[in-house]
A and B are shown apart, each in its own frame.
Chain A
Amino acid sequence: MTGDLLGWWGVPLAVLAGAIRVSTPFLFVSLGECITEKSGRINLGLEGTLVMGAMSGYAISYLTGSPWLGVLAAGCAGAVFGILHAAICSLPRVNDIAVGIALMLFGIGLAFFLGKPFIQPQAPNLPSIPFGNWSDNAQVRDSLRINALFLIGVVLAPLLLWAFRNTRWGLIVRTVGDSADAALALGYAINRVRMFSTAAGGFLAGIGGSFLSLSYPGSWSEGLSSGQGITAVALVIFARWNPMLCFWASLLFGGAAALGPALQSVGITSGYYLFNAAPYALTLLIMILTCSRDRTLAGAPGELGVTR
């Protein structure tokens, strides 16, 4: 009877599988915020964008029957929110952090309002690709069903890193983010660059939200996000504005979130509140360990609100 079971091996497998399953929204939101912050603006509204993306993705998937159209719609909804943020922030004497918080609340409220009719119906979900068919163990097979969005994220992270270093627009975004004066001297339209970067960031965050409603856990409800968007924004600072580090940090947060349930499922039940807090405790620990006077804000865009 137990031949098919993994027992203790279930824990590392669950953490790995959980990392892959849970990390995708973190990954998309943090990559999006990476682009935005590299241009010198911080968008705290991505929690609202994520929820809005989850809702609109689910709604469009349900109404059209195509989950991929849902993903596209979620991205577009996110981009609209990004443009809204950028447009308000381009006005004189506007604080981007305050605008972000306002848009976060607005996004969540609007998503709850518009999403009412979609809590009950079931929309078609995104397909997963079975990578575990080599194994005759059902648990391994199920754990290795990986969603296509995760794979897109895996490709996107190094691509973004490369683009920031080697492409013309990557360099423009960084210049604008590091020194507005230098960018002005070079003749770049600062607000337009930031508009584009915030819109791109919102687009990715919206897609991150659609993963929650269309793949895992795979349905729209009002408690769906539980703060994942805002965690992902914090994760960008943790990852030092480096897209590849965003990827690893997302995996870490995903895996840590899976740790509590995984340990309880094999019978380690004492102290589960501590395990459930593992992602945050871990972040704090790593922050303390890697923190030093010289390195703390290495890589931070010079124009970013938090560093000025």
Chain B
Amino acid sequence: MTSAFKLSRRALLQGTAGLGAAALTAGLPFGQAQAKDVAIGFIYVGPRDDFGYNQAHAQGAAALKKLGGFKVLEEENVPETVAVEKTMESMINLDGAALVFPTSFGYYNPHMIKLAKKYDKVRFLHCGGLWSDKDPANAGSYFGYIDEAQYLNGIVAGYTSKTGKLGFIAAKPIPQVLRNINAFTLGARLANPNVTTQVIFTGDWSMPVKEAEATNGLINQGVDVVTCHVDSPKVIAETAEKRGIMVCGYHVDQSKLAPKGYLTGAEWNWEALYPKLAKSMQGGEKIPNLVRGGLKEGVVKTSAYGPLVEEKARKHADDIKTKLTAGSYVIFKGPIKDNKGATVIGAGTERGQTDIELEKMNYLVEGVLGAIA
């Protein structure tokens, strides 16, 4: 990293020369060849190297860049306010973006919907939103069934935990988060039916001090494996490692942050999805308004197992993973009770991944300690 700050005279001269050359070619007609590159914009809510949500998207954007033929625009730290509308407008008007990926949950409604109505030639694809018929046709949403990977996290955590107490640090009680908490717990109870998951809601996507406090609080209550659904698991992984407990990752691989206690992790695989979406748009194919996928479609993946994961846990998790990848396994299969004792999925009912009911989840399953409000 230090080298980034040292600028030798030679590098400076080369850079200046390069700039001059670029300025020259820009004025010449054959510079036009590049104008065919389709401009694609990515908007992140936080820094793109956060060991978390934004980094996962940035890795996807980087894969697209490597592909060539696309002009990739990126802007980070854009708040979920009218600021994102301004960012999208400038990407469309100034850079000619034909496809925009606003990647954060709060960008969808009303901001992205508003702009999709205004710019009907531009394609908008939002991560996490739930597109409905009432929304504009040039808008759409994509997401991954990362709960499949959280389910595998749970299986590994259930086998590895010695206290039988797991911790889950979550930002907000929205359906996607609840689905992860529930899948994690269901997976853990597959390994050990007595396991409980204590959930803590911090209230926002990025609250480093509160996340550290939550991790410490859980550890003090005897929790020995934590996982999370916040934008950057960095603080949680580091705190867990410092205090000698285990951690399951989320968003991207965090094994570097917790070399001793990292078990496995639920990761996004946007490197696979973004190039696919961009290419199909370039080829004139119609991108569906609702894109979803899990392990089978390669939208999510798992981290390599850490040193503490025993053979028994690996085998069970790998077995389920094979079935999930084949599409022959259902996680939310009745009977499932919520943690207040009411039946939420009746016996005999199978809610497969594509079931839209799961995207409206508003309960915590049996075994989760905590409440939504």
Contacts and interface: CB of A to CB of B under 8 A. Distances in A.
Query: Do A and B interact with each other, yes or no?
Result: yes
Contacts of B231: 223
Interface in B34-78: 46-47, 49-51, 77
A146 B167 CA distance: 25
B213 A267 contact: no
Contacts of A112: 47, 77
Given A22-B213, A226-B207, A261-B210, A10 B49 contact: no
Given A22-B213, A223-B46, A217 B208 contact: yes
A31 B202 CA distance: 28
Interface string B221-249: 11100000001101100110011000000
A219 interface: yes
Given A142-B219, A218-B238, A276-B203, A265 B232 contact: no
A6 B4 contact: no
Nearest to B230: A223
A2 interface: yes
Interface stretch (B86-94, B120-128, B315-323, B365-373): B365-373
B272 interface: no
A63 interface: yes
A222 B214 contact: no
Nearest to B5: A117
Contacts of A266: 221
A13 B206 CA distance: 25
Interface stretch (A42-50, A118-126, A162-170, A171-179): A118-126
Contact of A139 (B202, B209, B220): B220
B216 interface: yes
A21 B242 CA distance: 15
Given A10-B220, A10-B221, A121-B1, A217 B200 contact: no
A200 B77 CA distance: 31
Contacts of A219: 208, 234-235, 238
Contacts of B208: 212, 217, 219, 221, 223-224, 226
Q: Of residues A63, A112, A119, A261, which shows the largest number of chain B Cβ atoms within 10 Å of its Cβ?
A: A261
B238 A217 contact: yes
A7 B239 CA distance: 21
B252 to A, nearest CB: 11
B284 to A, nearest CB: 38
Contacts of B221: 5-7, 10, 265-266
B209 A216 contact: yes
Given A120-B49, A223-B207, A270-B373, A261 B213 contact: yes
B216 A17 contact: yes
A227 B47 CA distance: 17
A4 B210 contact: no
Interface in A135-166: 139, 142-143
B169 to A, nearest CB: 9
Contacts of B213: 14, 18, 21-22, 257-258, 261-262
Given A2-B222, A267-B369, A221 B234 contact: yes
A142 B2 contact: no
A164 B223 CA distance: 47
Nearest to B371: A269
B20 interface: no
A5 B222 contact: yes
A131 interface: no
Given A117-B4, A219-B238, A222-B77, A6 B46 contact: no
A261 B219 contact: no
A222 B217 CA distance: 24
Given A117-B4, A218-B238, A223-B232, A269 B206 contact: no
A261 B200 contact: yes
Contacts of A10: 217, 220-221
A226 B202 CA distance: 13
Given A21-B213, A142-B243, A257-B209, A264 B46 contact: no
Nearest to B364: A269
A271 B203 CA distance: 11
A276 to B, nearest CB: 5
Interface string A1-36: 110111100100110011001100000000000000
B214 A261 contact: yes
B203 A272 contact: yes
Contacts of B163: 1
B218 interface: yes
Contacts of A224: 208-209
B66 to A, nearest CB: 20
A134 interface: no
A209 interface: no
A201 interface: no
Nearest to B201: A272
A224 B209 CA distance: 7
Contact of A264 (B47, B51, B201, B219): B201
Given A21-B213, A258-B213, A270-B373, A265 B203 contact: no
Nearest to B52: A221
B198 interface: yes
Nearest to B213: A261
B212 interface: yes
Contacts of A269: 199, 201, 369-371
Nearest to A112: B77
Interface string B247-267: 000000000010000000000
6 contacts: A18-B213, A217-B238, A218-B239, A221-B235, A261-B202, A276-B203
Interface of A: 1-2, 4-7, 10, 13-14, 17-18, 21-22, 62-63, 112, 116-122, 139, 142-143, 212, 216-219, 221-224, 226, 228, 257-258, 260-262, 264-267, 269-273, 276
Shortest Cβ-Cβ A-B pairs, 3 listed: A265-B217, A223-B206, A217-B212
Interface of B: 1-2, 4, 46-47, 49-51, 77, 163, 167, 198-203, 206-214, 216-223, 231-232, 234-235, 238-239, 242-243, 257, 369-371, 373
Given A117-B1, A272-B200, 9 more contacts: A14-B217, A22-B213, A120-B49, A221-B208, A223-B231, A260-B202, A261-B216, A264-B198, A269-B201
